[in-house]
Structures are given as C-alpha cells and as structure tokens.
Amino acid sequence: MPGFELFSDKERKEVNDVLDSGVLMRYGFDGNRNGHWKALALEKALAERMKVGYAQVVSSGTAALTIALASAGIGAGDEVIMPTFTFVASFESILALGAVPILVDVDDTLTLDPKAVENAITKRTKAVMPVHMCGSMADLKALKSICQNYKLLLLEDACQAIGGTFEGKPLGSYGDLGCFSFDYVKTVTCGEGGAIITNNKDYYTNADHFSDHGHDHIGKDRGAEGHPFLGYNFRISELHAAVGLAQIQRLDEFLAIQKKNYQILRETLEGIPEITFRRVPQAGEESYAFLSFFLPNANMAKEVHTALGEKGVDGCFYWFDNNWHYYRKWEHLIHKKSLGKLPKEVREQLPDYSKSDFSQSDEWIGRNISCLIKLGWSESEVQARALKMAEIIGSFLKQF
C-alpha cells in the first residue's frame, strides 16, 4: 500500500485504450469506444475477485458509502452506528443523507466494539457501519448476529482493507453491502474512485441508478432513459476506471508484498515483550496494509511516535492526535459546523459529542501506533527499518 508505488505498463495500456478511443465517460458514445468499457470491466473484475453478485464503481470511497446507505433506503433521521476511529468520510456520508451518525467505542481490534454497538441501538437505528481501519476487520460475526437480531443493515466500510478476509470471505462481502476506496493512497488506486459490492440485486440496482442522476439505464438512448427516483452524479470516469482495472488484477501481487514486509517488521517487534499487537478476530486475515501495535501507555506511545519521525522512520501514525481519523479532532462534527442549515433531524438528534465518554477508545487509540506497509521497499530496507524501530522503542522502554 499504496498501489501507485508499482505503476507499470499494465496501467498505461488500459489508460491509453481510453485516450485512443477519446471516450472518457462511462456511459454512451458506443460507436466510438472500440469495444472499451473500462468501468464495466472493472465492475466485473471486482465482483469476481470479491465473490459477490454485483459491483458498482463510483467517483470515490465517500461516494460509495453515501450510495450504499441510500441504496438501502437510509435517509433523514435514521441513525447509523459507526466507530470513533475512522476517516471523516464515514460520518460525512451519513450526514449527506440527513441521517445521524452515532459514534461508539472501539476495542483492541481498533474497530467497533460489539457490546458498545448493542448498547447504542435505539428505535431509530437502521444500520451498523464497521470500519475495517488500517487493513484489519471488526468482529464481524458478533456484529452480524446483532444486526440480524435487531433487523439492521450491516454495511462494511472496507476502504482501507481491500484484500483482507473473514471466515474465508473477502472483506466487504460479509455484510449486506461493502464499500472500497480507490483513492491515490489505497492498495488499489484509480487516482480517485470507489466501489460498492453486494449480493442484493435491489441494492445494486438502486446504486446503479442513484449514482447517475437516477437514470435507469434501460435502452440505448441515454436521453430517453427513465428516472424512477432522485439521484446525484457520483460517476467514475473511464480514465480512472482504466487505472483501477489494471490494479485490481494485480491485487494478489500487492497483498503478497504487503504480507512479506509486514511479517519482517512484526517478527522483529515481537522480540520486545512490552509490545502487544492489535487483535485480529478469529477466522480473519488482515490485508497487511498497516502494522498496528500497542505500547504500555499513551505517553510512551506519543513520545515513541515523535522519535520515529525525527529519526527518519516515516509512515507511522499516532491516531490519537490525528485531525482526520479520530473523534477528538472532529470539531466540525462536534459543533455542527456547516455552510448551510443542517436538516432538522440532524440538529435535534445528533448527540452532544463534546460531553461523550469515549474513554475506552482513548485507552486503545492512545497506546497505539500504526505503521504503513509500503510496496516499494526492498527486503534490506524493511529489515533495516525493523531494526531501527526496535532500537528506538527499546531506548524509550529503558527510560520508563
């Protein structure tokens, strides 16, 4: 991760197909395409790789989450349970539909705590959105059981975890709907892009229409197509889809490199008894996009993170102080800052997160450091990096 590290002639070939045809839009202009339909080809390849019936590729991961929720009928006043640790797109997608994001604690998986999820369910709850942060998954078996018991939608935000599996199923395919991001820094990149996957034909049809202004895509005359319901423009371009088409076919290649580099780092750090690692739920295999570990306390984690950066070990993240990924810095959500007037349901139902107790999340995130696993490292670079990290961490342990 990320896929742009290994761009090749495969990506260039797919992009040149589009440029040679001159058709950059995914719909229409049939006669000029020379048989090239990159978005359709990417959808077919993605559905096959993720072992699902349907895939819809769109303009971003944020768009994918928004469309997935809309496709299942989530709207104004509906509550969607999500974790305190994620990317801001998770709550943005909920708010975009007038729905209400309900934040709950994470546990040692760094993802949704099933007990916290069940405690947060109300009569307005319509969906649970686990976010498989940093390449590994939530306890999906427990969450699926909760969703079945309460008749809730299970939407997997797998934007950071493409290639991981749970009970042998690709992440994103375990719930009712799954979403991916293909932005510039993801394992599979389109530059900008995203996707929804599902086995539910109705959700797929709704996603197909909603992402293109409500077009029903029936017939060959785009101007004569019907509009069964309101939609918006979340289309992906053929250029972006072309890059993704080459990249999805290389996913197993990328995952093998990530796993190899991850294991070198982890095996070295496992020699430090004070370090523990995030819990991967039983029957799950992460995508190895990040190595996430815990230090004995938050002060040490923060100082170690600073030292790693100062001594040239880049790509390590201390999420507790991160502006984008942890609730503590989401002032715009906490204080309901918006350019326009927020929907009444959001204004009235959104909890006062300035007073919320997320001490359980603080405990786990405060002690955590996550290190990005790069595809472009040589084996000697990874080994040197591992030894340097162990040396830096060891020096701090001696001081505490």
Beta strand ranges found along the chain (DSSP E): 54-58, 79-83, 100-104, 125-128, 153-157, 165-166, 169-170, 177-181, 194-198, 276-277, 284-285, 290-294, 316-317, 368-372
Domains of the chain by residue range: 3-250, 252-399
Q: Which residue has the tokens 């090749």?
A: 8
Q: How many C-beta atoms surround the C-beta of residue 323 within 10 A?
A: 10
- Condensed to tens digits (0 to 9), the pLDDT of residues 273-323 reads 999 999 999 999 999 999 999 999 999 999 999 999 999 999 999 999 999
| C-alpha separations of 323 from 10, 87, 135, 169, 318 in Å | 36, 9, 20, 33, 11
What mean pLDDT, rounded, does the chain reach? 97
pLDDT of residue 399: 78
Fold of the domain spanning 252-399: Aspartate Aminotransferase, domain 1 (3.90.1150)
- Tokens for 394? 């060891």
- The pLDDT assigned to 43 comes to 99
Element (H or E) spanning 17, and its range? helix 9-21
Tokens of 62: 């944020």
CA dihedral 347, 206, 200, 161 (to 10 degrees): -60
Predicted local distance difference test score (pLDDT) of residue 197: 99
Angstrom CA distances, 100 to 93, 279, 299, stand at 10, 29, 34
**245 contacts 42 by C-beta, under 8 angstroms:** yes
- CA gap 169, 325 in Å, rounded: 27
The set of catalytic residues is 186
Q: Which residues pair with 157 in a beta bridge?
A: 131, 179
Q: What is the pLDDT along the chain (400 residues), one digit of tens a residue?
A: 899 999 999 999 999 999 999 999 999 999 999 999 999 999 999 999 999 999 999 999 999 999 999 999 999 999 999 999 999 999 999 999 999 999 999 999 999 999 999 999 999 999 999 999 999 999 999 999 999 999 999 999 999 999 999 999 999 999 999 999 999 999 999 999 999 999 999 999 999 999 999 999 999 999 999 999 999 999 999 999 999 999 999 999 999 999 999 999 999 999 999 999 999 999 999 999 999 999 999 999 999 999 999 999 999 999 999 999 999 999 999 999 999 999 999 999 999 999 999 999 999 999 999 999 999 999 999 999 999 999 999 998 887 6
Given this model, what pLDDT does residue 99 score? 98
Q: Kindly tell me the burial class for residue 146, based on how many C-beta atoms sit within 10 Å of its own C-beta (0-12, 13-18, 19 or more).
A: buried
Q: Give the domain 3-250 fold.
A: Aspartate Aminotransferase; domain 2 (3.40.640)
3 in the Ramachandran plot: left (φ > 0), alpha (ψ -120 to 50) or beta? alpha
Both structure tokens of 52: 């699902």
pTM for the complete prediction?
A: 0.97
The pLDDT tens digits of the residues spanning 114-159 come to 999 999 999 999 999 999 999 999 999 999 999 999 999 999 999 9
pLDDT at 398: 81
What pLDDT is attached to residue 1?
87
Packed helices 379-399 and 298-310: angle between N→C axes, nearest 10 degrees? 130
> How is residue 60 written in tokens?
């971003």
| pLDDT, position 163 | 98
